[in-house]
Structure 1
Amino acid sequence: MSQAMLSKVRKLLAQAEDPACTPAESAAFTAKATELIARYGVDRALLAARDPATDPVGDRVVEVVAPYARDKAGLLAAVADPMRCRCVRRRHGSGFAMHLFGFASDLERVDVLFTSLLVQAAHGLAGTPVPPGEQPGAFRRSWLAGFAQVIGARLRAAEAQAASGAGEPGVALVLADRSDRVQRRLAEVYPRLRAAPRRRLAGTGFASGADAGRRADLGGPVVGTGTGPERGLGR
């Protein structure tokens, strides 16, 4: 991402993260930042189709630490997948090492947005009281699951909108080819990869977390409710 674009996106996300912002202001800042990130992703894909050296396939490892490491890893996956990146979760100490695969520009986009969304999630959890009698950890895990699900859906909508608005033929084929190349790279490194078992959450925070995901408007259509710093997510 160019320094000018990166600076603009980070400034918008910093404003969205500010606790003094109203939900409407935070939504506007985040929507604009995500629109720029999605448009940039399509532009870089089209450029790389003409000159592959400008945007090689690569990988990076992101450490996700406790508390709520698995839930943060779920948020990272929800951000990575719509941006045509793939991730493998590996146990690392009390947390996880997330091995991400993708084109350089997409990995950069994931990093910028995930960092901001961690801060926004921390603020959202801080402002959401745990219902009386409920175990705080269970509630917060289910809250983060709702938040991640809605964020993922909105990012998919933003990416689709950017692709359809590019105004160039063959965009869908270019993006599909990029996804295939990333998947092949992952398979080369992890030829015997297995899917993790589906998780069951007992907390009642899913709907509240989904509402927070909707308030962090990502510039796409509103979706319906489904069934900073790492230190910001308290126990």
Structure 2
Amino acid sequence: MGTNRTDIRSRSGFGSGDGLDAVAALQRAYESGWQPADVLHVARRGLAAVELAPIGVLILREANRSGAWARAPLHWVDQLRTIADTYPRRPDEPSLSTSALRLLRQLQPLRMLCPPPSRWPQIRVEQADVGTDAKVLGRIRGLLAKAESTEFTEEAETLTAKAQELMTRHSVTETLLSAGAADRAVVVRARRIHLDRPYSKQKGLLLTTVGEANHVSTLYNAVDAIATVVGTPADLERVDLLFTSLLVQATQAMRSEHTRGASSAAFRRAFLYGFAVRIGQRLTEAEKAATAQAVVDADARFGDLLPLLTRRSDAVQAEVDRLFGPRLRSWGFTVSDLGGVAAGRSAADAAHLDPNRRAIAG
């Protein structure tokens, strides 16, 4: 499997900032690379649950003041909509706690993935990125629904591999359409995925392996448990879909383990490690086979496909270099429970995807 990489960032602060009120502190964070969902993520990690609603209300109040709904990038607006659904305004708006205000003032700069509010136009001109075709996603979900309904591990694995194959072939088609002209740049984006406690690092490994199988680079910031994924818009969409579904399955499978020591932290870290490694192997095997066949098919119709695939890979790497530069290092794992690794690998062999199914707590 490929190398996992982490972003080594400067931890320099904003300065004294003791006189900043909450809105000013939030605006300062936005100008330093933060986005609304990032703020809520670190708030969940550092504050009590009762302190989160005032943060959500503050974010929405600031969005109204700044005109973000009409000016911000579309993915920023999507974050605001999610926050509005989670923390609807009430007549008795809760007050921001001292610890919440302190957290806002102490937020350290993040990599700038999009223009900050000071550089937004008066009216948004951005158009939505072209994502995966709805019909293709429907076929993928259909395969995964069949995988979920079967009681046979081998059949579930075969159906999952077919879903990955379909994703790969569709990704190749998108590459032909979007990068077929020699003078047309490959569109690459970056987005953040937030990893909740516990076992954030192992969850980051799962995201990395899913990304590697789908031409997406993953960089993990262990300080804030935030992963930055870089790839084409459609590839990012598929990786987010796969990762979310697989993480739910891994958590359910881990909770259903009743072997000796299965509730220990060492077992669960090892379980998630084994699950992530095996999932990566399965998806990569399916991706390689699908790419090889797609290259043969494309050669007959479009000519040599390999240069286009190389252009996509180069474009992703160029964006990683632009955002993060050379300050990257590898990160590894120490596993102390081999039984947990074996159990995780077995769960990965039985894993399937159905993003529309509600999670059932184990």
**TM-score, normalisation: structure 1:** 0.81
Aligned to 1:195: 329
Alignment match of 1:35 (pick from 165, 181, 196): 165
Deviation at 1:36, TM superposition (A): 1.6
Asked whether 1:129 is paired with 2:264, we answer no
Supply the distance in 1 between the matched residues of 2:152 and 2:206 (Cα, whole angstroms): 23
Whichever of the two has the greater Rg, that structure is 2
| Structure 1 contact 55–105 (Cα < 8 Å) conserved | no
My pick for the range that moved more, 119-128 or 178-187, is 119-128
Asked whether 1:174 is paired with 2:304, we answer no
Show structure 1 runs of 5+ residues with no match: 219-227
The one-letter code sitting in structure 1 at the alignment partner of 2:195 is V
Alignment match of 2:237 (pick from 76, 84, 108): 108
In structure 2, the CA distance between the partners of 1:165 and 1:35, relative to structure 1 (3 Å rule), is same
Supply the distance in 1 between the matched residues of 2:166 and 2:185 (Cα, whole angstroms): 19
My pick for the range that moved more, 70-79 or 169-178, is 169-178
In structure 2, the CA distance between the partners of 1:130 and 1:172, relative to structure 1 (3 Å rule), is farther
Aligned to 2:180: 50
The one-letter code sitting in structure 1 at the alignment partner of 2:213 is P
| Structure 1 contact 17–120 (Cα < 8 Å) conserved | no
Supply the distance in 1 between the matched residues of 2:154 and 2:281 (Cα, whole angstroms): 19
| Structure 1 contact 17–119 (Cα < 8 Å) conserved | no
Aligned to 1:138: 266
The one-letter code sitting in structure 2 at the alignment partner of 1:84 is H
My pick for the range that moved more, 25-34 or 187-196, is 25-34
CA deviations on 1:168-205 (whole Å, 9 max, x unpaired) are: 23223322221111011111110132224322121221
Deviation at 1:156, TM superposition (A): 1.5
Aligned to 1:185: 319
My pick for the range that moved more, 178-187 or 4-13, is 4-13
1:138 is paired with a residue whose SS is: helix
Alignment match of 1:120 (pick from 228, 241, 249): 249
My pick for the range that moved more, 147-156 or 8-17, is 8-17
Supply the distance in 1 between the matched residues of 2:359 and 2:218 (Cα, whole angstroms): 19
Aligned to 1:70: 201
Deviation at 1:32, TM superposition (A): 3.0
In structure 2, the CA distance between the partners of 1:230 and 1:216, relative to structure 1 (3 Å rule), is closer
The one-letter code sitting in structure 2 at the alignment partner of 1:210 is R
**TM-score, normalisation: structure 2:** 0.54
In structure 2, the CA distance between the partners of 1:183 and 1:55, relative to structure 1 (3 Å rule), is closer
Show structure 2 runs of 5+ residues with no match: 1-131
In structure 2, the CA distance between the partners of 1:197 and 1:28, relative to structure 1 (3 Å rule), is closer
2:334 is paired with a residue whose SS is: coil
In structure 2, the CA distance between the partners of 1:141 and 1:231, relative to structure 1 (3 Å rule), is farther
The one-letter code sitting in structure 2 at the alignment partner of 1:162 is A
Supply the distance in 1 between the matched residues of 2:205 and 2:317 (Cα, whole angstroms): 19
Alignment coverage as a number of residue pairs? 220
Percent of residue pairs bearing the same amino acid type: 33
Aligned to 1:60: 191
The one-letter code sitting in structure 2 at the alignment partner of 1:76 is L
The alignment's C-alpha RMSD in Å is 2.8
In structure 2, the CA distance between the partners of 1:217 and 1:63, relative to structure 1 (3 Å rule), is closer
In structure 2, the CA distance between the partners of 1:130 and 1:212, relative to structure 1 (3 Å rule), is same
In structure 2, the CA distance between the partners of 1:199 and 1:216, relative to structure 1 (3 Å rule), is same
Aligned to 2:227: 98
Supply the distance in 1 between the matched residues of 2:359 and 2:328 (Cα, whole angstroms): 28
The one-letter code sitting in structure 1 at the alignment partner of 2:343 is S
Deviation at 1:31, TM superposition (A): 2.9
Deviation at 1:11, TM superposition (A): 4.0
In structure 2, the CA distance between the partners of 1:172 and 1:211, relative to structure 1 (3 Å rule), is farther
Supply the distance in 2 between the matched residues of 1:231 and 1:36 (Cα, whole angstroms): 28
